[in-house]
Amino acid sequence: MKNLRRFAPIFLVSAVLLFALACSSEEETTTTAPAAAPAAAPAAAPAAAPDTIKGPGASKQEKGTIVFAQSTLQCPHGVNTVYCGAYDSVAWGIGEDLFTWRWKDGGGINYEAMQLAESYTLSDDLSTLSIKIRSGVQFHKGYGTMTAADVVHSYNKTNPMITPHSIAPSAANFASLFGKNPAVADGSNVNFVFENFDVAWVNNLMNTGGFVGVVIHSKKAFDEHDETWAKVNVIATGPYEVESWVRDDTAVFTAWDGHWEFPAPQARKVIVKAVPQNEVRIAGMQTGEIDATELALKSVPEMKAAGFATTTAGNANQFSFYFSGNMWESVHAGTGAKLDIAGSGVYAREIPWIGNPFSPDDSNNPDGMDDMEQARLVRWAVATSIDRDMINSELLGGLGTPNYVAFIDPENEHNKPEWNIAYDPQGSVANIEKAGYTKKGDYFFEMPIFVPSGSNGGLGEEIADAVGGYMEAIGLKTAVLKYPYAVHRPGLVGRTSTIPILYSDDDGQSVYPHDKPKGLVNSSLTRGGYCVCFETPTIADLYKRAAKEPDLAKRLDLADQFIEHVHYWALQPGVVALPQLTTYNPNVISEWTMEPTPFGTATFANIKLK
């Protein structure tokens, strides 16, 4: 454990648990049913955490009610211009899109399952798309039958080229996919015009399983009120409707018996609780206040040994570095417009991990080495400083896998051994010195890293602490910055961020097929929306070619070229892949088969109760 000197303990024993399961903030309470009284809160929490893991007992809830806990609870996703809890909304069954993912009967994943779409027609020249929407779908709260106008409303609200203030999760993708071309209703069809065709439109970009294209909301509800109202009142089409939703506290969902696919979920009420502390979630599971939860991975083996069960939607998060600030494109990959990156704040000062292709010969480069190679050596020093096996063993309980390059799982059949990165701290120091840096006291220079607070159930912050410890061990003074992702996101949208990020990103999910076009948010194609804040011409070119390539073998080759590019330049070295597991009480839930998704706990409608 000597290399893990910054690790926080995994199992904390508190004298008193601050485990209040009732709503605690009137000021932030939002509800879609103003006349309804709040749901009854579960029984009072235990006063102290147990010293050992005890087996599952009886639930404290009435039969048919499930309490699910996770580390955070975002704001309600009532309109597609906001970020909020879009991923959770579609995974849990609140909102739906045109397509989704489903397990195949014989194994594997159907990445193009119809959800709110009944059929579609794609033009031969790949320029236009017409989707026939499912008939008879009802909106929550009595807002009537879904029409093509609702789909148009929802898609156009998402696209920042049409609705400039949209910061939806898929806003950047839609800026590239549709540009300024609005969706248009045509009877029971919705017609789209592609600005940049992408073969992943059906299995990823307009799909609740693959990326959360949109949540289809009621246009009637929006028009009767306004956007401010819609931000906190969710009127969607899923098998659960929102009774109340308090950010960072509690959300209450009730089964929607009018749903087109899941007419009568056995879990009649689902109460979602934000419980930041892992040890508090463990205690709640043992006492019956919580029926299901996401736990730090290291806690899972002991919980399973005590008799708790686990389920998964089939994904692992590839927790990785993204070296923001390496903005190497000089023209927009989509429009051809000039990008004044050289004059932007990104290159206002020398930053060791950021290569400057516009002024490659600055004052601190060693003889014969340009700034691009100097920064590459620094990034490689970070990549080889990390003992991935130790992190997996000590923080993930051996349940994860070392990850070497984001967007390719080491266990993927397409992974190549040469993409693996060995733990080599001495080589790390040698690369920093080769790059021309000498220590001033204990450190060569400072390199902060950012990790979103609450990521991966809070485990992401512990991994970031460990990574920071390894970086300090090779002479990089590392502040681990932990705050909400929403605070950091504007710098990514604005292309001004220069701080390396530790997280999984949109495409850093093991459940994605390897041939999926890679690198959209690593390019200028999503300007106006989100990026990881490095952009290279090679990535933009590979993405554009893959996005229009109908041949699987050729797409796989382009995916390999992408991995080789980011591996050589060490732009997104991986750390570990964390399987997304949900732990539940088998005395309450007899079976829970989640549908595949990269978004963790999913499909409350599939819960079978004891």
Looking at 166, 187, 219, which one is the last position of a domain?
219
Query: Domain check: are 571 and 486 in the same one?
Result: yes
Torsion of CA 313, 314, 319, 323, to 10 degrees: -90
Which tokens is 259 given?
């749903």
Q: Which domain does 286 fall in, by range?
A: 55-71+239-314+581-609
For 202, 327, 376, 393, 439, the CA distances from 423, given in Å and listed in that order, are 39, 28, 17, 15, 22
Q: What is the count of structural domains for the chain? A: 3
Please check whether residue 74 is in contact with residue 92, taking contact to mean a CB–CB distance below 8 angstroms.
no
Q: What is the reported pLDDT for 21?
A: 39
State which H helix or E strand residue 111 sits in.
strand 109-114
Query: Domain check: are 413 and 555 in the same one?
Result: yes
Q: Is residue 541 part of a domain?
A: yes
Query: Domain check: are 594 and 527 in the same one?
Result: no
Beta strand extents in 449-549 (DSSP E only): 449-452, 476-477, 480-483, 501-503
Up-side HSE of residue 25: CA atoms within 13 Å toward CB? 12
**Which residues lie across from 29 on neighbouring strands?**
246
Q: What is the reported pLDDT for 564?
A: 98
Kindly report the number of other CB atoms within 10 A of residue 14's CB atom: 13
Query: Domain check: are 457 and 596 in the same one?
Result: no
Please check whether residue 354 is in contact with residue 499, taking contact to mean a CB–CB distance below 8 angstroms.
no
Show the DSSP H helices in 26-164 as ranges: 86-92, 148-158
Residue that is written with structure tokens 């959300």 in the block: 251
CATH number of the domain encompassing residue 212:
3.90.76.10
DSSP annotation of 100: E
Looking at 219, 252, 271, which one is the last position of a domain?
219
C-alpha triplet 367, 369, 372: angle, nearest 5°: 150
Q: What is the reported pLDDT for 66?
A: 98
Q: Is 286 helix (H, G, I), strand (E, B) or coil?
A: helix
Q: What is the pTM of this model?
A: 0.74
Beta strand extents in 171-281 (DSSP E only): 184-186, 189-193, 240-246, 250-255, 269-274
CATH number of the domain encompassing residue 297:
3.40.190.10
Backbone φ and ψ for 208, nearest 5 degrees, come out as -70, -30
Q: Is residue 82 part of a domain?
A: no
Q: Is residue 199 part of a domain?
A: yes
Task: With CA atoms as reference, report the closest residue to 199 among 556, 599, 565, 595.
Answer: 556
Q: What is the reported pLDDT for 38?
A: 29
Query: Domain check: are 370 and 495 in the same one?
Result: yes
- In tens, the pLDDT along 560-593 reads 999 999 999 999 999 999 999 999 999 999 999 9
Query: Domain check: are 186 and 266 in the same one?
Result: no
Query: Domain check: are 439 and 480 in the same one?
Result: yes
Q: Is residue 536 part of a domain?
A: yes
Query: Domain check: are 262 and 372 in the same one?
Result: no
Sheet containing strand 582-584, edge to edge, reads 29-31, 240-246, 250-255, 269-274, 65-70, 292-293, 582-584, 309-311
CATH number of the domain encompassing residue 345:
3.10.105.10
- In angstroms, rounded to a whole number, what is the distance separating the alpha carbons of residues 375 and 500? 13
Q: What is the reported pLDDT for 27?
A: 32
- In angstroms, rounded to a whole number, what is the distance separating the alpha carbons of residues 182 and 121? 17
Query: Domain check: are 308 and 432 in the same one?
Result: no
Residue 268, classified by CB atoms within 10 Å of its CB into exposed (0-12), middle (13-18) or buried (19+), is middle
Q: Is residue 255 part of a domain?
A: yes
Query: Domain check: are 309 and 356 in the same one?
Result: no
Q: Is residue 172 part of a domain?
A: yes
- In angstroms, rounded to a whole number, what is the distance separating the alpha carbons of residues 25 and 28? 6
Q: Is residue 32 part of a domain?
A: no
Please check whether residue 190 is in contact with residue 151, taking contact to mean a CB–CB distance below 8 angstroms.
yes
C-alpha triplet 414, 420, 425: angle, nearest 5°: 170
Query: Domain check: are 355 and 499 in the same one?
Result: yes
Residue 329 amino acid letter: E
Q: Is residue 108 part of a domain?
A: yes
- Segments of the chain scoring below 50 in pLDDT: 1-50
Beta strand extents in 195-286 (DSSP E only): 240-246, 250-255, 269-274
DSSP annotation of 232: H
Please check whether residue 486 is in contact with residue 168, taking contact to mean a CB–CB distance below 8 angstroms.
no
DSSP annotation of 46: P
Q: What is the reported pLDDT for 51?
A: 55
Q: What is the reported pLDDT for 457?
A: 66
Torsion of CA 521, 527, 528, 529, to 10 degrees: 0
Query: Domain check: are 194 and 247 in the same one?
Result: no
Task: With CA atoms as reference, report the closest residue to 253 among 266, 267, 274, 263.
Answer: 267
